[in-house]
Structure 1
């Protein structure tokens, strides 16, 4: 995989992943509270649908997902990415995609081949037995996310008219390369958007980390590596206590690769809250605002590359879970789909740096090699 040929598809997918992450995050950021999702998970499941779509449905997906116009490049890029991510050492990273198709529909051979290349399985199911099919899919998601995501599909979501459900589950568990000092965790006030504070279990570690002062985002950026070196949590901490909204407004200027380029190894005193969050969201409305709309409209949807007949997607469901503690991170997400950048500072920061995450911040879990964002979120209220 190390040859030059493998790099181009990765690069194409990496760019589309970052652009899609920013769009999706901005689309969801208007609602108050914590936010946590797997942009990669959502993008892969929608890209799979894109390969079975034709006409406007395909054009909208290509634009909305920021995919290259060369379909082969997208296919190669996602195929390479799935294999590369599934091969992580020292961290648990399970990515699983499956298509559930209504009994009696014949899936097209080329689409089946694409699903194989995306490491996706295909299974026929009787949606008319809605409780049984719901249980089958929920059990599969639960097992793939190591029990972290339960009851993904709610009662009454499936019925005899459901044609197809696309499921993507992603589970991540990683230990920090530098674990936080367990006996140093102590209650510390965390500033809430309302102006009030609440006590949070604040973890502490001091060590040499990659760090940058990102002036155009008015933020500090820190990389906390996991044990395998290639997965990192990147934290963007606004310099102002209430600076998160400004940071989110300027997210279009965020380019993880450029931020990383501007980082230098520095001695950093890191204060980070221990936190846990579960986030679930029906994404249909958000995707429509991103221009992906005809696939939801029975009069306009065109999925003739998957099956014959007139079918539309009824909903895209996403649920994600993350837990961050002294030892590391456990994160899981599942997506169910029912049928110019910053310039780096030129000077290393003075050492030591104090990085105190005692107010709302953004964080990403990024893969260093493929430059993709597996998870993105913000912590606004640790106790939520």
Structure 2
């Protein structure tokens, strides 16, 4: 019995993650240009914060994070997902959580236990002196192999800071089918409303999981990493400037539905190499998703501590590099508190030419969570 309940909780969390990914993507995508973030990192650390929330704050957070109000399900689901993500083989995946607490600040035992279920150690710290930001930053830098530096600006912490909750994710994986280095060459890429430019474009011809998704007017391609458990899913609009239209319709079809419709034809793939760094303070983004009270004096975190607490900032940073061998990606989030029928495979190969803006996701096939998501508007930037 226990197992069924546990896997229900895991499924609840993975479904919530899919919905939260498209919600937060929609808000972040309002700004133009390249975009890269970890919906998983943001959701994990906010969900731990949610476990300490009460009243209206808890209601808003559950709704904004697409979680049930029942905290046991959330705790159980994240706990199991995190432990399954620990035993990923053939690629490097590190997910780490930590709660930094002001020295001598009393937090409830129950919240410490919740943090434990999220595999988050609790560490006491003097936020005013003793280089607290540096200590937190070096922890994040270590988890992310040096890719995410200075997540906490030196002026972010003050004598009012009580807790800093941090999540960091790092991924490095090689493609099962690597692109041939010698075939990489400059090809034209057409950024939206800008002249075309030459970018280094990788090339491969092989059998891949592929589908045409009519709802989004996109081609979908799955590029698996070693071990086949983690894959990159690319959604390429059929029209050169079809991305805004596809983004509007993202909620019409889930990533799981997209992957369930795939078949394995021969595909000729042209994919630009790209590298991105992204950083964002997420307060406004989260407020657009209905999570408002946690930032104000009406915040209720009565299940963390007796003292009144509110969230000051939610900081997120992410990094990705995609090349012929594979992908390296990292992200960190800090919450600072104060089937359609398959057609017969055509004999001629399908051409998947990513020479205009496209969307991509890095997905764990086992737990179904979206570790990273993004948009390539201009690979040359």
Shared fold, TM over 0.5: yes
CA deviation map 1:234-271 (0-9, x unaligned) = 00000000000001011111301111111001111111
Partner of 1:83: 83
Q: Which moved more, 1:107-116 or 1:325-334?
A: 107-116
Deviating above 3 A after TM superposition, structure 1's stretches of 4 or more consecutive aligned residues are 2-6, 343-346
Deviation at 1:278, TM superposition (A): 0.3
CA contact (8 A) 1:215 1:345 kept: no
Shift of 1:310: 1.2
Residue 346 of structure 1 and its aligned partner are, at CA, apart by 3.8
C-alpha deviation, 1:155, in angstroms? 2.5
Is 1:274 matched up with 2:270?
A: no
Q: What are structure 2's unaligned runs of at least 5 residues?
A: none
> CA contact under 8 A between 1:101 and 1:165: conserved in structure 2?
yes
| Secondary structure class of the residue paired with 2:264 | strand
Q: CA deviation at 1:348?
A: 4.6
Q: Indicate the residue corresponding to 1:40 in structure 2.
A: 40
Would you say the 8 A contact 2:278–2:319 is kept in 1? yes
1:125 to partner: Cα distance? 0.8
State how many pairs are aligned.
379
Which secondary structure does the structure 2 equivalent of 1:264 belong to? coil
Instruction: Indicate which of 363, 367, 383 corresponds to 2:364.
Output: 367
- CA drift at 1:345: 5.2
Corresponding residue of 1:120: 120
Give the match for residue 103 of structure 2.
103
1:149 paired with 2:145, answer: no
CA deviation profile, 1:84-112 (whole Å, cap 9, x unmatched): 01110011100000011111211111111
Structure 1 residues 46-101: Cα deviation after superposition (integer angstroms, max 9, x where no partner): 00011111111111110000102332221111001000011100111000000111
Moved more, 174-183 or 61-70: 61-70
The residue number in structure 2 matching 1:381 is 378
Q: Is the 8 A contact 2:215 2:253 kept in 1?
A: no
The corresponding residue for 1:252 is 251
RMSD value, Cα: 1.5
CA apart distance, 1:27: 0.6
- Residues 219/70 of structure 1: CA separation in 2 closer, same or farther (3 Å cut): same
Distance in 1 of aligned mates of 2:280 and 2:156: 14
Structure 2 CA distance for aligned equivalents of residues 264 and 255 of structure 1 = 17
For residue 3 of structure 1, report the CA deviation from its aligned partner.
Answer: 5.6
Are positions 1:329 and 2:331 aligned together? no
Contact 2:53–2:302 (CA under 8 A) maintained in structure 1: yes
Aligned 8 A contact 2:206 2:267 in 1: yes
